[in-house]
């Protein structure tokens, strides 16, 4: 079976990173229809937190499908979904205990915007340049990682404004992190001064660690000052933890690295072990203003997805997943920093836990998508599945399973370094 034989039946709008037709997968590996096996450092774009087909997740899915597949959570209740809501509330930060389940990340972000506008009775939304929140009309309106996501779609949602994300490696103010005077925060203040008064802003939405835009980690001080600014003006702070949440950064949620609690948090990707599920999480005070019928879903809170989600949380606890993320993440960072000393094409190494990235550059430090693509192609031809990121398409992201072992990590790093040598 070849992808090209079926290409005419699929919309070209869904860009394909590879032409692989994958038939099976287990743990860190996927196998295509021709029997070729690849070490998977993408994992469904950070979806398979426990690797492919973790036995506990598979068992939970199979058991639930034998009992009930769906009857719509807006009509009846499911034990698995009720249980997942309760268990999630035990690990979410602070008072973020009330949950609305949906299907994908963009849908969750759309809902978060509606919730914020409903609670504040304000129209304005502020997002960050370089951000990625999805491709629906609402999510595309707050996405700033590439103009292609907005092409031919204007006008999008009104009253949306963008401010610079504190990307220290490519600081727009030509300063360094140790000398940073939070110019990005001052730029946000200028948005208030020139474009929209803060009392008209419902929410500021931010990825606490930027995903699609390049796995960028902002300075802790910036995130904390942003929290203070939102509190001062009655603006809700939304954290998009769809890629950074669920242990990816070494803590259950990336917000914990900054000692900051948002007012609303969106989750997705890893929540259900590979099945489509997302969530909007907030406080009871905010959620109780969202009256019945103001928002809804047919498939959200799906019992099979919830069963998988419960299994994921169980494995996280029983197998000490966060400990492994920090151990292997520290090792991954150290290995990449060693390589950076040998290969000038590696301009920056950044990230937290097992959410790590390398930015490829030319000799003048300008972004090099060409180098990235050569490395990515080499890796694929030598059995390592990878994916790029970043506004300029020059970021190489590592999104391994969170339970990856040292042997598989070393195997992938060896292929990656061979690709660097091949440059």
pLDDT tens for each residue of 2-32: 988 898 999 998 888 899 999 999 999 999 9
Tell the residue number behind the tokens 């094409």, with chain if given: 345
| Cα–Cα nearest to 186, from 173, 204, 168 | 173
pTM assigned to the model: 0.96
Backbone angles phi, psi at 352, to 5 degrees: -135, 140
Q: Indicate if the alpha-carbon torsion angle 219, 223, 224, 225 is positive or negative.
A: positive
CA distances from 291 to 202, 287, 340 (A): 18, 8, 53
DSSP tally for the chain: helices H, then strands E: 12, 15
Cα dihedral: 142, 209, 213, 370 (round 10) = 180
Strand residues in 13-159 grouped as ranges (E): 22-26, 29-32, 37-40, 98-102, 124-128
Predicted local confidence at residue 168, as pLDDT: 86
| Per-domain boundaries in the chain | 3-53+320-422, 57-318
| Domains 3-53+320-422 and 57-318 are alike in CATH topology | no
| Contact by Cβ (8 Å): 123, 152 | no
Tokens at 96, concatenated: 């973020």
**pLDDT averages per 10-residue partition of the chain, 423 residues:** 89 89 97 97 97 98 98 94 98 97 97 98 97 96 92 94 93 76 90 97 98 95 97 98 97 98 98 97 97 94 98 97 98 98 97 98 96 97 96 95 98 98 92
- The domain at 3-53+320-422 falls in which architecture? Alpha-Beta Complex (3.90)
User: For residue 225, what are the CA distances in angstroms to 42, 186, 188, 213?
Assistant: 33, 11, 11, 22
Q: Give percent of the chain above pLDDT 90.
A: 91
Cβ-based neighbours of 411, under 8 Å, separated by 6 or more: 39
- What pLDDT, on a 0 to 100 scale, did the predictor assign at position 175? 79
Hey, CA dihedral for 67, 72, 75, 79, is it positive or negative? positive
pLDDT, tens digit, 9 for 90 and up, residues 213-250: 999 999 999 999 999 999 999 999 999 999 999 999 99
- SS3 (DSSP) at 232: helix
- Measured at the CA of 132, the angle between CA 237 and CA 218, to 5 degrees, comes to 60
Residue 29 to residue 383: CA distance in whole angstroms: 10
**Predicted pLDDT at 179:** 67
Give CATH for domain 57-318.
3.40.640.10
Q: What is the pLDDT of residue 176?
A: 75
Instruction: Using the structure block, give the residue that is written with the tokens 């707050």.
Output: 142
Q: Is the backbone peptide bond immediately before 155 cis, with ω within 30 degrees of 0?
A: yes
């Amino acid at each position: 079976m070849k992808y090209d034989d079926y290409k005419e039946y699929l919309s070209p709008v869904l860009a394909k990173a590879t032409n692989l037709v994958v038939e099976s997968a287990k743990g860190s590996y996927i196998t295509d229809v021709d029997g070729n096996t690849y070490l998977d450092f993408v994992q469904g774009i950070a979806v398979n937190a426990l690797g492919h087909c973790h036995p506990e997740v598979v068992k939970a899915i199979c058991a639930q499908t034998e009992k009930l597949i769906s009857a719509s959570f807006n009509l009846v209740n499911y034990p698995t979904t009720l249980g997942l809501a309760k268990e999630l509330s035990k690990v979410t930060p602070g008072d973020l205990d009330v949950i609305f389940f949906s299907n994908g990340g963009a849908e969750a972000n759309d809902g978060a915007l509606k919730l914020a506008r409903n609670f504040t009775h304000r129209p304005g939304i502020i997002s960050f340049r370089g951000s990625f929140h999805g491709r629906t009309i609402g999510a595309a309106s707050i996405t700033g990682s590439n103009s292609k996501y907005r092409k031919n779609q204007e006008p999008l949602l009104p009253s949306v404004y963008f401010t610079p994300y504190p990307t220290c490696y490519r600081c727009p103010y030509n300063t360094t992190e140790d000398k940073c005077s939070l110019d990005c925060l001052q730029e946000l203040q200028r948005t208030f001064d020139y474009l929209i008064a803060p009392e008209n802003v419902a929410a500021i939405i931010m990825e606490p660690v930027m995903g699609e835009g390049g796995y960028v980690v902002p300075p802790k001080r910036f995130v904390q000052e942003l929290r203070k600014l939102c509190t001062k003006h009655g603006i809700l702070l939304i954290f998009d933890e769809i890629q950074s949440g669920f242990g990816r950064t070494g803590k259950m949620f990336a917000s914990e690295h900054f000692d900051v609690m948002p007012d609303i948090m969106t989750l997705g990707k890893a929540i259900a072990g590979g099945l489509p599920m997302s969530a909007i999480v907030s406080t009871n005070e905010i959620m109780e203003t969202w009256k019945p019928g103001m928002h809804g879903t047919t498939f959200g809170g799906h019992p099979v997805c919830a069963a998988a989600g419960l299994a994921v949380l169980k494995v996280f606890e029983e197998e000490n997943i966060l400990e492994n993320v920090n151990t292997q993440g520290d090792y991954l960072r150290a290995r990449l920093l060693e390589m950076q000393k040998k290969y000038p094409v590696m301009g920056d190494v950044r990230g937290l836990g097992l959410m790590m990235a390398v930015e490829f550059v030319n000799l003048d430090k300008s972004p090099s998508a060409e180098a990235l693509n050569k490395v990515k192609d080499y890796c694929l031809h030598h059995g390592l599945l990878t994916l790029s990121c970043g506004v300029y398409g020059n970021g190489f992201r590592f999104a391994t399973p969170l339970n990856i072992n040292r042997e598989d990590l070393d195997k992938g790093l060896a292929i990656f370094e061979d690709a660097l040598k091949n440059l």
